[in-house]
Amino acid sequence: MPFKKPVQKFSAAINAVELGVGENKIVLGGQNVMPFYTFDNEIANPPKVGAEISDMGFEDQVQGITGFYADCASVADMAKKAAALDSVDFICLRLESADPNGKNAPVADCVHTAKAVSDAIDKPLVIIGCKNDEKDAVLFEKVAEALQGKNALYLSAKEENYKSIAAAVGLAYRQKVGAESSVDINLAKQLNVLISQIGVDGKSIVMNLGSAAAGYGFEYVVSTMDRVGAAALSQNDTMLQMPVITPVSTESWSVKESIATQEDMPHWGSQEQRGVSMEIVTAAADLASGSSAVILRHPASIETISKLIKELI
Amino acid sequence: MAKFITIGERIHCISPAIREAMNTMNPDPILKRAEEQIKAGATYLDVNIGPAESNGIELMKWAVKLIQEKFDNIPLALDTSNKAAIEAGISVYNRSKGKPIVNSADAGDRIDNIDLAAANDAIIIALCSKEGVPSDNDERMAYCQEMLERGMMGGMDTADMWFDPLFLVIKGMQDKQSDVLEAIRMFTEMGLNSTGGLSNCSNGMPKHIRPIMDSAMVAMAMQCGLTSAIVNPCDLRLMETIKSCDIIKNETLYADSYLEI
């Protein structure tokens, strides 16, 4: 009897969410198969790779990162430089300077930066806040107002501030809302329900299920993504069919493997090599677990992960 | 396994308002009840036009188109003893949200409704009785087997045969309730889907008791593997119970607002 290949194709699918405008716009999600299972069905929109830049610059980073941006005079220049890489699908601007416990830059300054970055690039833009819930709520509202029509994604609305962010980003300025749930699967669904109840279309939501560097509780990230994927595809749970974006670099570049210098840890070898490895390993595992987009920092990681995706899909 | 399927029972010609609407082909009362049930979370809607011997074909076609066109092709259960009316209904039925259900066949006079479902790629509700109430589960399972074979002979996917154990009224048949649950358990062990007129169990009880009794019955039946039921979806307590059981059975992921979706 000839071998008949079983096919695991689901009738439900992950939402296809568009980011950006014009010819370089991208689509996250849309697949109705397990991650990279192209043998079960075509994956029309392969996972996307974003380059992270910060409005504080990258001065204290490893040589491969600072060196790459060395000739950039402004954040907009950095964005332009990163966006010029073929392997970069979108730019992710972190408005770190807004942090009230840090530089506490005024919202107006951040809006100015975001606008300059958006004007400098022709690829989609993802905005990451300063991790202060109250400041982010104000920040996102003003940035979304300034970037009307740019169809940017904002990371993230959380349980503490989703109301104002969803209303401003999703409803008033018609852009994409990131829903962040810190590796809590029930909260992931709940946030999607709450944001939907405000009136934001489920197809304007992207989930940030949370991340961890490989080796730092990463198995919780994997099991969360697995369960979300199963609910979305095999249980047709419309409240979990939003594509997943995972900010990798902020996690992977803050663990000891990436920040311990070679002087401190001579037997660990090159710090840069270690950091890049952590970033690549974490990103590859996130993609294999179902992320539709990853955010990376080091040009070598971006290049490698982009190649990995192209080879597999 | 999958989430529990509710079939809304409130479009039924036994209700005076619906009977009147069907007699005069007045859409409003039917659409109103359809909308109420969909909002309350019904997966399928049952459309019972009664025997409709004179105008069944016309009436079923009208009702199917009316409800599906208004409500995004909500899947329907076509409920009448008039076979031609069921076939007519299926001929205009839109399958994009689910196959039509033929309600129903039994192991007696109505066994050929299984053939009808098979010929039309529909789901059949297969009532495990022949003449009246089966006396025990040996009899129930013999009917189940008989209908299962009939369906398989006709080329049906057994997943499209939803076996009905025949829920019995508790008042007067209290000693038979465990049998019903046991029959559901046996269907489940055979890998079969199941359904039934759940509210029959609380027939004759005071109005305020019925939701409590129906909820207890559905919870126990779901634990035995019941996969769907014909219910009044506007019974909030019942629907909340079903949603909660789906969570406990891990058929749907918990979120604090799970009762609202």
In chain A, whose CA is at the least distance from the CA of B254? A186
State the nearest Cα–Cα gap between A194 and chain B, in angstroms: 8
Rounded (to 5) percent helix, strand, coil in chain A: 45, 15, 40
Neighbours of B131 (CB within 10 A): 9
d(CA B90, CA B119): 11
Do B253 and A190 count as a contact with CB atoms less than 8 A apart? no
Neighbours of A6 (CB within 10 A): 6
CATH assignment, A18-312: 3.20.20.20
- Range with lowest mean pLDDT among A150-164, A211-225, B110-124, B163-177: A211-225
- Domain spans of chain A, in order of start: 18-312
What share of chain B in percent tops pLDDT 90?
Answer: 97
Query: Among A309, A226, A301, A219, which Cα is nearest to A52's?
Result: A301
What per-residue string of b and e applies to B158-195 under the rule 16 or more CB within 10 Å gives b?
eebbbbbbbbbbbeebeebbebbbbbbbbbbeeebbbb
Judged against a pLDDT cut of 70, whether residue B145 lies above it is answered with yes
Residue B250 in contact with partner chain A when CB distance is under 8 A: no
Question: What's residue A7's pLDDT?
Answer: 85
Mean pLDDT of A174-183: 96
Mean pLDDT of A194-215: 95
Judged against a pLDDT cut of 90, whether residue A187 lies above it is answered with yes
Do B255 and A189 count as a contact with CB atoms less than 8 A apart? yes
Q: Which residue has the higher pLDDT, A9 or B234?
A: B234
d(CA A142, CA A132): 15
- pTM recorded for the entire structure: 0.89
ipTM: 0.85
Nearest CB among B252, B256, B260 relative to A237 is that of B252
Do B261 and A193 count as a contact with CB atoms less than 8 A apart? yes
Question: What's residue A4's pLDDT?
Answer: 84
Do B253 and A231 count as a contact with CB atoms less than 8 A apart? yes
What per-residue string of b and e applies to B69-79 under the rule 16 or more CB within 10 Å gives b?
eebeebbbbbb
Residue A101 in contact with partner chain B when CB distance is under 8 A: no
CATH assignment, B165-261: 3.20.20.20
d(CA A77, CA A93): 12
